[in-house]
């Protein structure tokens, strides 16, 4: 079992220079606490995501960490020229000395894509994503790239930069549907889901089945299948619940910002508007180390995962509450779940 972090890098209310510095200090704490990976969302024109350019943000994270694997979850591929993104990935992989992880996806928000002039038609979006992915992977593995698609082209482009990790950094995908599980297996991607444990296990079973059919073998032990949820730890259940609910309400406001602006509902349905209801749905946990350990142990067993991804900092959570939560989690919860941490 490994543990990672998912971060929307959502606006807290602090001035942006203070906000970014505080987030970077938090990544230093993750690095010292023995976490495996730090995964950053990409969003645009919304307080839900202030790391609108994951590459720029991650270049700062690289300078503040030593062991933590870092990456996007996900780069919204239709918004990128694949050759430019390939160059950014190569640079980040070398700057991090091979710690980069690369999440790839079509994007969850049609509103954000529309602002960039991208089509909201599902079939067009799929084709743009596939062509962008084809060129990107070619640029990471070949010395020259030629490709003629309907939406993306490359004409005998010489490739100067190569990634540090060969053939390229580990790939990641956010998976909700069985179709996405098949796609992730096809490209040997690691995957993360935000689902109930029973639903998660069904996706993992499908993923492994497709992997065996396509590749004639089981996924290696290095391939991670993760479940993501909000996690807040405090000295008592009551304190954790207070911190979680206050912070979550701010996050919920940011999550719904663009949808409310356009008078529509979120793509994957409405979220719980308070942390207590979120916890009842199994999408988060707030409590003492003992409470959190018991909750997560049950979820891990039911989901059949080998990677737990916590969203530890969100909304207007203070640095003090966040750092105390992360410290309690790494010192008490991770070892109790069978992980021996080795803080720097």
Could you read off the pLDDT of 99-151 as tens digits, one per residue?
Answer: 999 999 998 888 999 999 988 788 898 999 999 999 999 999 999 999 999 99
Domain ranges for the chain: 226-339
- Between CA 195 and CA 193 the distance in angstroms is 6
Cα radius of gyration (the chain):
20
Query: pLDDT digit string (tens) for 220-245?
Result: 999 999 999 999 999 999 999 999 99
Q: How many CB atoms lie within 10 A of CB 160?
A: 8
And the tokens for 164?
A: 């540090």
Q: Are 60 and 21 in contact (CB under 8 A)?
A: no
* Dist CA 269 CA 240 (whole Å): 26
Q: How far apart are CA 60 and CA 142, in angstroms?
A: 28
- Burial state string for 278-307 with b = 16 or more CB within 10 A and e = fewer than 16: bbeebbbbbbbbebbbebbeebbeebbbbb
Give the Cα separation of 288 and 38 in Å (integer).
23
> What totals of helices (H) and strands (E) does the chain contain, helices first?
13, 11
Per-residue pLDDT at 339: 56
pLDDT of residue 266: 82
Segments in the chain below pLDDT 50: 340-344
């Amino acid at each position: 079992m490994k543990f990672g972090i998912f971060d929307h890098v959502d606006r807290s209310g602090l001035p942006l220079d203070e906000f970014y510095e505080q987030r970077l200090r938090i990544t230093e704490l993750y690095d010292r606490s023995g976490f495996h990976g730090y995964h950053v969302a990409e969003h645009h024109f919304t307080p839900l995501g202030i790391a609108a350019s994951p590459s720029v943000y991650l270049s700062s994270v690289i300078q503040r960490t030593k062991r933590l694997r870092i990456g996007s979850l996900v780069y919204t591929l239709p918004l990128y020229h694949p050759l430019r993104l390939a160059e950014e990935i190569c640079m980040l992989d070398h700057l991090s000395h091979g710690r980069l992880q690369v999440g790839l996806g079509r994007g969850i928000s049609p509103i954000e894509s529309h602002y960039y002039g991208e089509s909201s038609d599902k079939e067009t979006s799929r084709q743009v994503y596939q062509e962008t992915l084809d060129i990107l992977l070619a640029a990471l593995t070949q010395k020259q790239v030629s490709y003629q698609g309907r939406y993306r082209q490359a004409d005998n482009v010489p490739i100067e930069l190569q990634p540090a990790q060969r053939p390229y950094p580990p790939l990641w995908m956010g998976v909700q549907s069985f179709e996405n599980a098949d796609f992730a297996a096809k490209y040997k991607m690691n995957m993360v889901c935000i689902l109930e444990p029973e639903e998660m296990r069904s996706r993992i079973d499908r993923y492994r089945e497709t992997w065996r059919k396509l590749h004639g073998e089981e996924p290696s032990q290095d391939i991670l299948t993760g479940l993501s949820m909000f996690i807040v730890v405090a000295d008592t259940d009551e304190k954790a619940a207070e911190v979680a609910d206050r912070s979550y309400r701010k996050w919920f406001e940011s999550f719904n910002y663009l949808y409310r602006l356009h008078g529509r509902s979120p793509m994957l349905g409405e979220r719980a508007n308070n942390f207590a209801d979120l916890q009842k749905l199994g999408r988060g946990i707030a409590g003492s180390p003992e409470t959190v350990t018991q909750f997560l142990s049950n979820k891990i067993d039911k989901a059949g995962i080998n990677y737990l991804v916590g969203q530890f900092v969100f909304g207007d959570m203070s640095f003090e509450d966040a750092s105390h939560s992360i410290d309690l989690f790494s010192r008490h919860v991770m070892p109790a779940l069978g992980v021996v941490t080795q803080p720097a």
